[in-house]
Amino acid sequence: MILAIDVGGTKMAAGLVGSDGTVAFSARVATPQGADAPTLWKTLDELIEPLSEGVEGVGVGCGGPMAWPDGEVSPLNIPGWRGFPLRARLAERFPGLPVRLHNDAICLAVAEHWKGAGQGSADMLGMVVSTGVGGGLILDGRLVNGGTGNAGHIGHVVVEPEGGPRCGCGGHGCLEAVARGPALTAWALDQGWVPGPAAQMADAGPRFGPDDGAYREDRAVTARGLAADARAGDPVAVRAMRRAGRALGIAIASATHLCDLDLVTIGGGLSQAGEPLFGPLDEALREHAMMGFARRVKVMPATLGQEAGLVGAAALILAGESYWTPATSR
Amino acid sequence: MILAIDVGGTKMAAGLVGSDGTVAFSARVATPQGADAPTLWKTLDELIEPLSEGVEGVGVGCGGPMAWPDGEVSPLNIPGWRGFPLRARLAERFPGLPVRLHNDAICLAVAEHWKGAGQGSADMLGMVVSTGVGGGLILDGRLVNGGTGNAGHIGHVVVEPEGGPRCGCGGHGCLEAVARGPALTAWALDQGWVPGPAAQMADAGPRFGPDDGAYREDRAVTARGLAADARAGDPVAVRAMRRAGRALGIAIASATHLCDLDLVTIGGGLSQAGEPLFGPLDEALREHAMMGFARRVKVMPATLGQEAGLVGAAALILAGESYWTPATSR
pLDDT, greater one: B217 or B110? B110
- Does B258 sit within 8 Å of A290, measured CB to CB? no
**In this complex, which of A170, A250, A254 lies closest to B290 when CB atoms are compared?**
A170
- Best residue in A73, A74, A258, A290 for a mutation probing chain B (most B CBs within 10 Å): A258
The dihedral of CA B64, B65, B71, B75: what is its sign? negative
Provide the 3-class DSSP secondary structure of residue A126: strand
The pLDDT of residue A209 is 47
- Does B291 sit within 8 Å of A156, measured CB to CB? yes
| Average pLDDT value over all residues in chain B | 93
CATH number (3.30.70.100, 3.90.1170.40, 3.40.50.300, 3.30.420.40) of B2-104+306-323 reads 3.30.420.40
- The tens digit of pLDDT for each residue in A312-325 reads 999 999 999 999 98
Q: Are the C-beta atoms of A107 and A65 separated by less than 8 Å?
A: no
Give the gap in angstroms from C-alpha A71 to the nearest C-alpha of chain B. Answer: 15
Q: Which residues of A touch B150 (CB under 8 A)?
A: 260, 291, 293-294
Q: Interhelix angle for A308-318 vs A104-115, to 10°?
A: 80
- Does A65 sit within 8 Å of B292, measured CB to CB? yes
- Best residue in B68, B103, B139, B324 for a mutation probing chain A (most A CBs within 10 Å): B139
Q: How far apart are alpha carbons B54 and A201 in whole angstroms?
A: 77
Query: Domain A2-103+306-323 has what CATH class?
Result: alpha beta
Q: How far apart are alpha carbons A48 and A37 in whole angstroms?
A: 17
**In this complex, which of B152, B158, B330 lies closest to A141 when CB atoms are compared?**
B330
* DSSP-derived secondary structure for B222-274: SHHHHHHHHHTT-HHHHHHHHHHHHHHHHHHHHHHHHH--SEEEEESGGGG--
Give the gap in angstroms from C-alpha B123 to the nearest C-alpha of chain A. Answer: 6
Give the gap in angstroms from C-alpha A215 to the nearest C-alpha of chain B. Answer: 23
- The tens digit of pLDDT for each residue in B130-182 reads 989 999 999 989 999 999 999 999 999 999 998 899 999 999 999 999 999 99
Going through A244-297 in order, the beta strands assigned E by DSSP cover 263-267
- Does A288 sit within 8 Å of B158, measured CB to CB? yes
Q: Are the C-beta atoms of A207 and A177 separated by less than 8 Å?
A: no
- Does B330 sit within 8 Å of A140, measured CB to CB? yes
Going through B122-170 in order, the beta strands assigned E by DSSP cover 124-129, 133-139, 142-144
- Best residue in B66, B140, B167 for a mutation probing chain A (most A CBs within 10 Å): B140
Q: Which residues of A touch B170 (CB under 8 A)?
A: 290-291
φ/ψ (deg, to 5) at A192: 100, 10
Instruction: Name the CATH superfamily for A117-301.
Output: ATPase, nucleotide binding domain (3.30.420.40)
- Does B149 sit within 8 Å of A173, measured CB to CB? no
Give the gap in angstroms from C-alpha B260 to the nearest C-alpha of chain A. Answer: 5
Pick from A178, A329, A295, A171: which is nearest to A242 by CA?
A: A178
**In this complex, which of A122, A150, A254 lies closest to B293 when CB atoms are compared?**
A150
The pLDDT of residue B215 is 39
**In this complex, which of A259, A296, A330 lies closest to B122 when CB atoms are compared?**
A330
- Does B255 sit within 8 Å of A158, measured CB to CB? no
- Does A294 sit within 8 Å of B330, measured CB to CB? no
The pLDDT of residue B329 is 39
φ/ψ (deg, to 5) at A152: 100, 0
Please compute the mean of the pLDDT values over residues B65-81 and round it to a whole number: 94
The pLDDT of residue B273 is 93
Q: Which residues of A touch B292 (CB under 8 A)?
A: 65
- Does B291 sit within 8 Å of A170, measured CB to CB? yes
Domain locations along chain B: 2-104+306-323, 117-301
- Does A329 sit within 8 Å of B146, measured CB to CB? no
The pLDDT of residue A219 is 64
What is the CB-side half-sphere exposure of residue A15 using CA atoms within 13 A?
Answer: 24
Give the gap in angstroms from C-alpha B171 to the nearest C-alpha of chain A. Answer: 5
Q: Are the C-beta atoms of A130 and B243 separated by less than 8 Å?
A: no
Pick from A181, A249, A248: which is nearest to A221 by CA?
A: A181
**In this complex, which of A146, A258, A260 lies closest to B147 when CB atoms are compared?**
A260
- Does B258 sit within 8 Å of A288, measured CB to CB? no
Q: Are the C-beta atoms of B24 and B2 separated by less than 8 Å?
A: no
**Long-range Cβ pairs for the range B216-220 (8 Å, 24+):** B216/B185, B217/B189, B220/B195
Q: Does residue B13 register a pLDDT over 80?
A: yes
Q: Are the C-beta atoms of B61 and B109 separated by less than 8 Å?
A: no
Measured torsion, CA atoms of residues A173, A179, A182, A183, in degrees rounded to the nearest 10: 30
Per-residue confidence at B76, pLDDT binned at 50, 70, 90? Answer: confident
Helix (H) or strand (E) holding B114: helix B104-115
Provide the 3-class DSSP secondary structure of residue B17: strand
Low-confidence residues of chain A, pLDDT below 50? 206-217, 328-330
Q: Are the C-beta atoms of A258 and B137 separated by less than 8 Å?
A: yes
Helix (H) or strand (E) holding A93: helix A86-93
Provide the 3-class DSSP secondary structure of residue A35: coil
Examine the predicted complex and report whether its ipTM is higher than 0.95: no
Please compute the mean of the pLDDT values over residues B113-137 and round it to a whole number: 96
Pick from A99, A23, A106, A109: which is nearest to A62 by CA?
A: A106
Per-residue confidence at B119, pLDDT binned at 50, 70, 90? Answer: very high
Q: Are the C-beta atoms of B29 and B15 separated by less than 8 Å?
A: no
pTM confidence score: 0.93
Q: Which residues of A touch B171 (CB under 8 A)?
A: 253, 287-291
Which has the minimum average pLDDT: A52-56, B268-272, B300-304? Answer: B268-272
Q: Which residues of B touch A330 (CB under 8 A)?
A: 122, 140-141
Q: Which residues of B touch A258 (CB under 8 A)?
A: 137, 151-154, 157, 254-255, 258-259
The pLDDT of residue A45 is 98
Q: How far apart are alpha carbons B281 and B45 in whole angstroms?
A: 42
Measured torsion, CA atoms of residues A132, B288, A150, A65, in degrees rounded to the nearest 10: -60
- Does A173 sit within 8 Å of B137, measured CB to CB? no
- Does B259 sit within 8 Å of A146, measured CB to CB? yes
Q: Are the C-beta atoms of A113 and A121 separated by less than 8 Å?
A: yes
Give the gap in angstroms from C-alpha A296 to the nearest C-alpha of chain B. Answer: 10
Q: How far apart are alpha carbons A6 and A12 in whole angstroms?
A: 6
**In this complex, which of A288, A296, A329 lies closest to B140 when CB atoms are compared?**
A329
Please compute the mean of the pLDDT values over residues B302-307 and round it to a whole number: 92
The pLDDT of residue B203 is 64
- Does B294 sit within 8 Å of A156, measured CB to CB? yes
Q: Angle at CA A319, nearest 5°, toward A49 and A8?
A: 45
Q: How far apart are alpha carbons B288 and B310 in whole angstroms?
A: 35
Give the gap in angstroms from C-alpha B223 to the nearest C-alpha of chain A. Answer: 24
Q: Does residue B211 register a pLDDT over 60?
A: no
Q: What is the CA radius of gyration of chain B?
A: 19
Domains A2-103+306-323 and A117-301 share a fold: yes
Which has the minimum average pLDDT: A271-275, A287-291, B217-221, B233-237? Answer: B217-221
> Chain B residue closest to A153 (CA)?
B258
Q: How far apart are the first and last CA of chain A?
A: 29
Residues 6+ apart with CB under 8 A from B112: B118, B124, B126, B265, B267, B302, B303, B304, B308, B312
The pLDDT of residue A220 is 76
The pLDDT of residue A203 is 64
Q: Does residue B105 register a pLDDT over 80?
A: yes
- Does A293 sit within 8 Å of B257, measured CB to CB? no
